[in-house]
Structure 1
Amino acid sequence: MKSVVCFGDSNTYGHNPVNGERLPESVRWPCLLQELLGGDYKIIEEGLNGRTTVFDDPNDDWKNGIDYIKGILCTHRPVDYLIIMLGTNDMKTIYNAKPEDIAAGLNEIVQRAEKVMDLKQGYIPKILIVSPPEISEDILTGPFAGSFDRVSIDKSRRLSEFYKKVADKHGCGFLDAKLYIKPSKEDGLHLDPAGHKGLAEIIAKTVPTL
């Protein structure tokens, strides 16, 4: 059985855009991915609301992905596949990060993942970098309007260009999620059930090709 760690933020955790609670397993994309890939794979959910690539949340200093990737991977080793979908929270106005900066943070995560897995398990997992779905205009009138603005929306539309470069540099698989799914109308940020289903389906087609 091959293990697959899904390392992401609230859209991997399954934040419900309607009520802020957690979507059930029957809806979340990692759980749907398990069903689609079948018993030859074990899907491991590692999603956290608010997680960034390398930026420290001023209120929650434990939401920085770079500080946790090594521990998470070693917790679940042996790890055969690593799916990374981060970057949306990096576009919050408080971080003032350019798409290039966000991609640089992703690059650091990939480098740490490769190094620790090579050291601790003797081989590097096959890595799939997923550029997250874009933030829609609905963010401006939704519950997260205070954290994101129009500049954030523009960054989300440009991020995949820089993520693709990171994937190419490391020989990782790459998927541009915004080509397949959109965020919910409720908050312009989080996936609704249709978004989770669409993401699971495209990742399920991609994983065996890595």
Structure 2
Amino acid sequence: MPTILTFGDSNTYGTQPMRTRPSDLPRLTRRWPVVMAEALGWELIEEGLPGRTFAFPDPEMGPHMDGRLGLFIALESHGPIDAMTIMLGTNDLKAHFDATSEDIAQACGFHLDVALSEEMQARHGGFEPILILPPRPHAAGCLAETYTGVAEKVDAVQAAMRAEAEARDVAVFDANSVIAVSDLDGVHFDAGAHEALGRAIAEFILSEIED
């Protein structure tokens, strides 16, 4: 049975849209990685950490939010894997990071380079990384201040991330093609969206395999 690792942030972890911060809502049971793996019939390894960024230690949530170290830990503590999804970039858009699209895209490229490196490919016997562009956040609800100004930069960031993947011949799935974030907090998405995203990513992966 093939194995897939899902590396991401709260939207991979299964955090529900929040009315207050912090939220007391439980993690979704049928989050998109679970739905995806069920549709594929594959073994699932989940590595979703709320607050994780591509490359920024968070002054509020801690230095371990920097996904660069977490990526090495995930790839060296699991395996072998046959595929890996990377869905990050939402937290990098927080206003207090003041990151440019180039900053975020370069950090995305670093993650792809690690996944494609000879060391990691050999460790797992070869595997396919897949970049997932997360649903675009917007400033809303209890996270409005955190994401001030995000609407003006998110499109450029996602275009730059896509370019990094395409330059490395890495498959890209755009979550915006099937779901949107909840207007409740502008960042997370509801149970129905998790179901839809999980099924869509499974279909995408199967189509990539057939190609």
TM-score (normalised: structure 1): 0.90
Shift of 1:73: 1.1
Output aligned runs, 1:115-134, within 5 Å: 115=117, 116-123=119-126, 125-134=127-136
Q: Letter of the 2:93 partner, please give it.
A: M
Match of 1:89 in 2: 91
Match of 1:162 in 2: 160
Q: What do residues 39-94 of structure 1 show as CA deviations (whole Å, max 9, x unaligned)?
A: xx112111011000011111301011111111101211101101000000000011
- Residue 23 of structure 1: which of 27, 40, 45 is its match? 27
Once residues 18 and 9 of structure 1 are traced to their aligned partners in structure 2, the CA distance between those partners, rounded to angstroms, is 15
TM-score (normalised: structure 2): 0.90
Once residues 74 and 204 of structure 1 are traced to their aligned partners in structure 2, the CA distance between those partners, rounded to angstroms, is 25
Task: Indicate the SS of the match to 1:143.
Answer: helix
- Residue 66 of structure 1: which of 65, 68, 74 is its match? 68
- The share of aligned pairs that are identical, in percent, is 33
Residue 10 in 1 paired to residue 10 in 2? yes
Once residues 80 and 125 of structure 2 are traced to their aligned partners in structure 1, the CA distance between those partners, rounded to angstroms, is 9
Once residues 35 and 188 of structure 2 are traced to their aligned partners in structure 1, the CA distance between those partners, rounded to angstroms, is 17
Once residues 75 and 89 of structure 1 are traced to their aligned partners in structure 2, the CA distance between those partners, rounded to angstroms, is 24
The 1:182/1:111 distance shift into structure 2, 3 A limit, reads same
Shift of 1:36: 1.0
Once residues 17 and 204 of structure 2 are traced to their aligned partners in structure 1, the CA distance between those partners, rounded to angstroms, is 26
Once residues 95 and 158 of structure 2 are traced to their aligned partners in structure 1, the CA distance between those partners, rounded to angstroms, is 19
Task: Give the number of aligned pairs.
Answer: 202
Q: Which runs of 5+ in 2 are unaligned?
A: none
- RMSD, aligned CA: 1.5
1:17/1:186 contact within 8 Å kept: yes
Match of 2:142 in 1: 143
1:160/1:176 contact within 8 Å kept: no
Q: Letter of the 1:10 partner, please give it.
A: S
